[in-house]
Amino acid sequence: MTESLASMRPAIVTVDDDPSVSRAVARDLRRRYGSDHRIVRAESGEQALDALREMTLRGDQVAVILADYRMPGMDGIEFLEQAMDLFPAARRVLLTAYADTDAAINAINVVDLDHYLLKPWDPPEEKLYPVLDALLEAWLSSDRRPITETRVVGHRWSARSYEVRDFLARNQVPYRWYLADEPEGGRLLAAAGANDLDLPVVITPDGTALVLPSDAELAERVGLSTAPTADFYDLVVIGGGPAGLGAAVYGASEGLRTVLVERTATGGQAGQSSRIENYLGFPDGVSGAQLTDRARRQATKFGAEVLTTRDVVGLAASGSARTVRFADGTEINAHAVILATGVSYRQLTAPGAEELTGRGVFYGSGLTEAAGCAGQDVFIVGGANSAGQAAVYFARHARSVTLLVRGPSLQTSMSYYLIQQIADIPVITVRTCTEVVAAHGTDHLERLELCARAAGTNETVDASWLFVFIGAAPRTDWLDDLVVRDRAGFVVAGPDLVVDGKRPCGWTLDRDPYHLETSLPGVFVAGDARADSVKRVASAVGEGAMAVSLVHRYLEKR
């Protein structure tokens, strides 16, 4: 049996400082239970606790712990008292001599002892096995299934704890969330040798404890691809939103060696949408996470590489190749590049909002926080589709949802179907001509100061949850002057680069730029990062596909 399969079996742990007794106990246990259980033997309380901590981090299960009472340094009762913090559901047995029966009886109250056995236990068929059979049956009835997900331990109002959970959720990594001040969270912290200053702590399925991990470290440990497998590609797609995923699918499916580079998680803003109902082919709607997951799997099925936590900071022309440089100084080269960097939500400038980000103030849908909003009041800033989708979603959980809209109505920025849905949900209130002018709180958001612009009056409301969707800024600052951008930073492409019959400065080819081509030949732009693009998922996917067809044309006519 392999080690991975063996570790899935529940363990029976025995500890005795007398090597001959320890071996005898383990021998009798293996004879009866070895086929279905791991038998773990230790010769001191500290040695056994080290083994239990390691099993805790791996998510292993311990069914029964047998400890000798008389051990130097740490007796059996002291050991079981610490062991029950690590595996509270394990059945506990104390091995005692006849003279120690009073201590064993007292241990029933101290460590909630399940049974005590007198030494010697021969014959085991009469004195050992019947006891363990009953204890194992009781343990099995408690449904102690092994935990194989990644586990995250943190504080409720910790910004980094939220970022870690959001990163895992957006990358489709299953995880369980534990509060550090609750029993199970405290148990995991103790097993990892961590404390409240080390949060968040992430425990991977193989039992590795990561203290305050970076996104890159987290990605590597949970099995996400972070390193390219080659130095040169046909096509590099920068950005993993709908446009980038569309380009990766069509590029790889049409035979181009394609790599998609994403700095956080595939899906972009669309991937954070609770439900997209106007995307072709999904009459019942689809969540952004579902759509993203399908697109990513589709791209990898055709052979595209998908890299996460890789921040692109530079782009250059190297002869006929295009060089993409990462923040860590490494680089890859390709015949062509598609910029699909998308946009990010603009930051709320109200005093206090920056300090409370991740601690009650969130950008994007914050779906990981939905459960915490149950029965509470939620405020959402924004008047476009993303804000409307979030309002509908949170209305399922929250006591009330207040949509704060700077403009006089929703009609100019939100789809008609969403406006109708919002009007039919009684817990949603729309407040137009209203802005957040301040956010207040100590360790988390507690109050918002709102300004009713029409009346020119301010009011303060109690609030613990604020989700912000206020327009978009393109992620193009890193391009500097390499390609032409408009005043807002969006990339200008195609016919818009030709002004009064003149091609862009520095253009060296004897043709006009292709439709989605930037001012640097061989570099194309698709999706929300393009100037004057239609900010919709369907159009972004279409532009990603179109950009690949133009890449083929560029490669054929170089």
pLDDT tens column, 219-259: 999 889 999 999 999 999 999 999 999 999 999 999 999 99
Residue 143 pLDDT exceeds 60? no
Report the C-alpha gap between 540 and 342 in whole angstroms.
Answer: 9
Q: Which residue do the tokens 């920025």 mark?
A: 413
Residue 109 pLDDT exceeds 90? no
Report the C-alpha gap between 469 and 390 in whole angstroms.
Answer: 9
Please report the beta strands in 257-357, taking only residues with DSSP state E, as ranges in sequence order: 258-261, 305-307, 312-318, 321-326, 331-339, 343-345
Average of per-residue pLDDT values in the chain: 89
b/e sequence 401-415, b meaning 16+ C-beta within 10 Å: bbbbbbeeebeebbb
Report the C-alpha gap between 132 and 436 in whole angstroms.
Answer: 63
Entry field: residues in the chain: 558
Report the C-alpha gap between 391 and 503 in whole angstroms.
Answer: 46
User: How sure is the predictor about 485, in pLDDT bands with cuts at 50, 70 and 90?
Assistant: very high
Report the C-alpha gap between 22 and 2 in whole angstroms.
Answer: 25
Report the C-alpha gap between 526 and 541 in whole angstroms.
Answer: 8
b/e sequence 94-118, b meaning 16+ C-beta within 10 Å: bbbeeebeebbeebeeebebbbbbe
- Lowest mean per-residue pLDDT among 111-115, 314-318, 408-412, 428-432: 111-115
Of residues 270, 305, 311, 308, the one with CA closest to residue 290: 270
Q: Kindly tell me the burial class for residue 505, based on how many C-beta atoms sit within 10 Å of its own C-beta (0-12, 13-18, 19 or more).
A: exposed
Asked if 259 and 247 count as a contact pair (C-beta separation under 8 A), the reply is no
User: How sure is the predictor about 70, in pLDDT bands with cuts at 50, 70 and 90?
Assistant: confident
Count of C-beta atoms within a 10 Å radius of residue 477: 11
Q: Per-residue pLDDT averaged across 412-437, rounded?
A: 95
225: which 2 tokens? 């691809």
Report the C-alpha gap between 275 and 244 in whole angstroms.
Answer: 20
Report the C-alpha gap between 465 and 345 in whole angstroms.
Answer: 17
Indicate the angle between helix axes 537-556 and 242-253, nearest 10 degrees. Answer: 40
91: which 2 tokens? 């059945």
Please report the beta strands in 367-425, taking only residues with DSSP state E, as ranges in sequence order: 377-381, 400-404
Report the C-alpha gap between 109 and 398 in whole angstroms.
Answer: 43
CA distances (Å), origin 78, targets 61, 73, 75, 81, 89: 21, 10, 5, 5, 17
pLDDT at 89: 84
Give the residue with greater pLDDT, 243 vs 279.
Answer: 243
Helices (H) and strands (E) in the chain, counts: 16, 26
Q: Which amino acid is at 201?
A: V
User: How sure is the predictor about 105, in pLDDT bands with cuts at 50, 70 and 90?
Assistant: low
pLDDT at 144: 54
Residues 192-212: pLDDT tens digits? Answer: 989 888 899 999 988 899 999
Indicate the SS3 state at residue 356: coil
Report the C-alpha gap between 401 and 463 in whole angstroms.
Answer: 11
User: How sure is the predictor about 535, in pLDDT bands with cuts at 50, 70 and 90?
Assistant: confident
Domains annotated on the chain, with CATH? 3-141 (3.40.50.2300), 150-221 (3.40.30.10), 232-344+473-556 (3.50.50.60), 361-470 (3.50.50.60)
Q: What is the DSSP string of 51-75?
A: HHHHHHHHT--EEEEEEES--SSS-
Q: Per-residue pLDDT averaged across 302-328, rounded?
A: 96
Asked if 248 and 299 count as a contact pair (C-beta separation under 8 A), the reply is yes
Give CA 296 to chain center in angstroms: 16
Residue 464 pLDDT exceeds 50? yes
Residue 102 pLDDT exceeds 90? no
Q: Show the CA angle centred on residue 438, arms to residues 432 and 440, nearest 5°.
A: 125
Residues 324-383: pLDDT tens digits? Answer: 999 999 999 999 999 999 998 889 999 999 999 999 999 876 667 877 888 999 999 999
Count of C-beta atoms within a 10 Å radius of residue 223: 11
Asked if 218 and 246 count as a contact pair (C-beta separation under 8 A), the reply is no
Asked if 321 and 232 count as a contact pair (C-beta separation under 8 A), the reply is yes
How large a percentage of the chain has pLDDT more than 70? 94
pLDDT at 118: 81
Q: Per-residue pLDDT averaged across 299-316, rounded?
A: 96
Classify 445 in phi/psi space as left (phi over 0), alpha (psi -120 to 50) or beta: beta
Residues 436-461: pLDDT tens digits? Answer: 999 999 999 999 999 998 777 899 99
Give the residue with greater pLDDT, 108 vs 449.
Answer: 449
349: which 2 tokens? 């400038």
126: which 2 tokens? 């009469």
Q: Which residue do the tokens 């383990």 mark?
A: 26
Residue 41 pLDDT exceeds 80? yes
- Lowest mean per-residue pLDDT among 80-84, 132-136, 230-234, 474-478: 80-84
Q: Which residue do the tokens 């130095």 mark?
A: 231
Residue 288 pLDDT exceeds 70? yes
Q: 343-345 and 472-474 as β-strands: parallel, antiparallel, unpaired?
A: antiparallel
Residues 42-63: pLDDT tens digits? Answer: 999 999 998 998 888 888 889 9
b/e sequence 372-383, b meaning 16+ C-beta within 10 Å: ebeeebbbbbbb
